[in-house]
A = this chain, B = another copy of it.
Amino acid sequence: MTANKDVTPVTELRVPSSKGATAVEVRLRRSAVQLFAEKGYAATGIRDIARATGITSATLYHYTSSKEALLMDIMRDGHRALTESVQRQLKSSDLPEERLGILVGGLAAAHATNPLSTRVVDSEIRALAIGSDARTEIVMLRDHFESFWTKVLSEGIKEGVFTIDDEHLTRLSLISMCTGMSYWYRPALGHDLVQLATHFSDLALGAVRAQRNGKAIRGRDLRPLRIDLVPILDSEPPHI
């Protein structure tokens, strides 16, 4: 269970699994995500990460500059993948009800397929010192992502499709409903992703009282949600 101290030296296959990352780098990232999600960033030591990766803590520093850099990479990639996915899909519709479905369904699906990394992305800002450059950067990424929600909600209100008492309250409620998934949802329970995303989308449409011509809008009135989010890190690494 440690490393491969076998007869064949194996020579650490150089076949890159994705974007030029070596096998060790991929394992390192996956170990960090796993442990950060499980025990939290502060409670995870670099020795824990190294052990889970199969290297020593010294070797770890050959692949990353610091424990914080490890966290920052995870958070940056997580935000980037989510924002790109949302930005791409939002171009497919001008209807506020469909656009809200894309946001809610996409965020829910992202947390369902990547419960570990999303949990780290969502909850470990606290690990970054208040006022630090790192924290400022992540907060900016988060604010940018949330700006899409603000925009879609206000568009829906302007077009008379949504009825919302408190925009601020509603936006944060909907987002935290999706992000909360990563605390209890575990994949491979036989759930269909599209069905799950539609379930959350329906809930959101009910929350904003979405309607046209006096008739409430449900998920079935929308074009079926397309799940195109690339799994970030939780999924198994590609076989080599």
Within 8 A of B (CB), among A188-234: 191, 196, 199-200, 202-203, 206-207
Stretch from A37-45, A47-55, A64-72 that touches the partner: A37-45
Given A180-B180, A206-B207, does the pair A199, B165 have CB atoms closer than 8 Å? yes
Given A179-B180, A180-B179, does the pair A173, B42 have CB atoms closer than 8 Å? no
Distance in angstroms from A87 CB to nearest chain B CB is 23
Task: Tell whether, in the assembled complex, residue A39 and residue B126 are in contact, meaning their CB atoms are under 8 Å apart.
Answer: yes
Contact with B along A20-56 (1 / 0, CB 8 A): 0000000000000000001111110000000000000
Q: Is A172 interfacial (CB-CB < 8 Å)?
A: yes
Within 8 A of B (CB), among A156-174: 165-166, 169, 172-173
Chain B positions within 8 Å of A181 at CB level: 173, 176
Which residue from chain B places its CB closest to the CB of A122 in the assembled complex?
Answer: B183
Q: Is A63 interfacial (CB-CB < 8 Å)?
A: no
Distance in angstroms from A199 CB to nearest chain B CB is 7
Distance in angstroms from A150 CB to nearest chain B CB is 14
Q: Is A177 interfacial (CB-CB < 8 Å)?
A: yes
Bound Cα distance A184, B200 (Å):
20
- With a 10 A CB-CB cut-off, give which of A123, A165, A172, A177 has the most chain B CB atoms: A177
Q: Is A127 interfacial (CB-CB < 8 Å)?
A: yes
Q: Is A185 interfacial (CB-CB < 8 Å)?
A: yes
Task: Tell whether, in the assembled complex, residue A184 and residue B172 are in contact, meaning their CB atoms are under 8 Å apart.
Answer: yes
Task: Tell whether, in the assembled complex, residue A203 and residue B196 are in contact, meaning their CB atoms are under 8 Å apart.
Answer: no
Distance in angstroms from A180 CB to nearest chain B CB is 3
Task: Tell whether, in the assembled complex, residue A173 and residue B177 are in contact, meaning their CB atoms are under 8 Å apart.
Answer: yes
Bound Cα distance A176, B182 (Å):
10
Task: Tell whether, in the assembled complex, residue A40 and residue B126 are in contact, meaning their CB atoms are under 8 Å apart.
Answer: yes
Task: Tell whether, in the assembled complex, residue B176 and residue A43 are in contact, meaning their CB atoms are under 8 Å apart.
Answer: no
Distance in angstroms from A102 CB to nearest chain B CB is 19
8 extra interface residue pairs, beta carbon distance < 8 Å, beyond A123-B183, A203-B206: A39-B126, A40-B42, A40-B126, A42-B42, A42-B43, A165-B199, A169-B196, A206-B206
Provide 7 A-B residue pairs closer than 8 Å at the C-beta atoms, listed in order of the A residue.
A40-B127, A165-B199, A172-B184, A173-B180, A177-B180, A180-B180, A203-B207
